Structure 1
Amino acid sequence: MSLSAQPRFRLTRWVAAADIVDVFVYVIVLNLAAQYLPAVIAETFTLSLLTAILLKAVLEVVIAVKGRVKFRLKAATGPAGKVGGALLLWFLLAASKFVVLELVALVFGDRVSLGNFWSVTGLILVLMLARAGVRRLLADDSPPIPSER
């Protein structure tokens, strides 16, 4: 039996590689923030890793909901729909920061603190910029290599 004729078994991935990289980027940003900003506290590396995973989950949900709101905003035909969509988008972006603060407080108590609304807003902005930067850095823009036959 040739190699190409052998059955291929593939384990289903639960998490994409990009998600793992995102969590690593979040851990780095979170630990740098904890080192340089007194309002940001993560008592241990394990807690910062778990916080990064929590942030990844929350931010993915926020990004998905934001995408749906933006789609509805673009689909709105009247001024009431446009204004309503814009207000909903603004509310979502502001409320998500409070959700992050409350979830971190609920899950980790006093052992992890992301500060206040403004510090978590800045932290999330830096997280998103760092994530975009790393994804751009790792993007494979090279043309495919022609196969030899």
Structure 2
Amino acid sequence: MTATNDSLMPATVEAPSDRQRTFARYFTGMLIDLLVLGLFDEYWDKVHVASFTVMVLASVLLQILLKVTIAIEHVVAKFFKARPGGFMKFMRFFGAWLVLFGSKFVILEALSLAFGDQVHFSGVFHGIITLIVVVVVMLLVEEIIVRFYRRLGAKSDGSAAA
């Protein structure tokens, strides 16, 4: 007897609400951050996290700060995009870079204030380069997971599911 997906699902399935989708998105992001931070802690001597509990809490804080950073970057980009001219286009990219780069200092300080020596990034420029590497890997892994997830929903004829 072969089981199909339909036989494994309940008779009625409610579509998730926007709040449920938002929760799933941030929860998944936090788990990805936890995974990446844990792997860096284990395999790179420039990243130190005192315990698993601290790592979970740091992952939650990182997820919040990264999403706030991206939201601020979008506001800055939208501000300059609404204005015509080459200088405004330059300012859009410069503003985005400034927010994204500057946020790493804020993130490093927030981690330091929240966890003290329990979360530590060492290396060039007091660990800022190490933090940038960790954050970039977190964002890349999140993007890879999102793309994989979207491909799972693609129809067999190659078009994306709605």
Q: Which has the higher relative contact order, 1 or 2, with Cα contacts under 8 A spaced 6 or more apart? A: 1
- TM-score, normalised relative to structure 1: 0.80
Corresponding residue for residue 6 of structure 2: none
* Match of residue 42, structure 1, among 37, 44, 49: 49
Residues 1:137 and 2:148 aligned together = yes
Cα distance in structure 1, aligned partners of 2:130 and 2:39 = 13
SS at match of 1:138: helix
Cα distance in structure 2, aligned partners of 1:111 and 1:36 = 17
Cα distance in structure 2, aligned partners of 1:90 and 1:111 = 29
Q: Percent identity?
A: 27
Task: Check the 8 A contact 2:48/2:120 in 1, yes or no.
Answer: yes
Note the alpha carbon deviations across 1:32-86, whole angstroms, 9 max, x for none: 0011111211110011110000000000001111111222232221334333333
Residues 1:28 and 2:35 aligned together = yes
SS at match of 2:45: coil
* Match of residue 60, structure 1, among 40, 60, 67: 67
Residues 1:120 and 2:131 aligned together = yes
Task: Check the 8 A contact 2:73/2:95 in 1, yes or no.
Answer: no
Note the alpha carbon deviations across 1:94-114, whole angstroms, 9 max, x for none: 111101100000000001113
Cα distance in structure 2, aligned partners of 1:30 and 1:19 = 16
Residues 1:84 and 2:91 aligned together = yes
- TM-score, normalised relative to structure 2: 0.74
Aligned Cα root-mean-square deviation (Å): 2.3
Task: Check the 8 A contact 2:77/2:95 in 1, yes or no.
Answer: no
1:13 CA drift (Å): 4.7
Give the total of aligned pairs: 136
| Larger deviation, residues 90-99 vs 68-77 | 68-77
Aligned CA distance change for structure 1 residues 117 and 45 (closer, same or farther; 3 Å): same
- Report the residue type matching 1:121 in the other structure: I
- Report the residue type matching 2:60 in the other structure: I
Runs of 4+ in structure 1 over 6 Å off = none
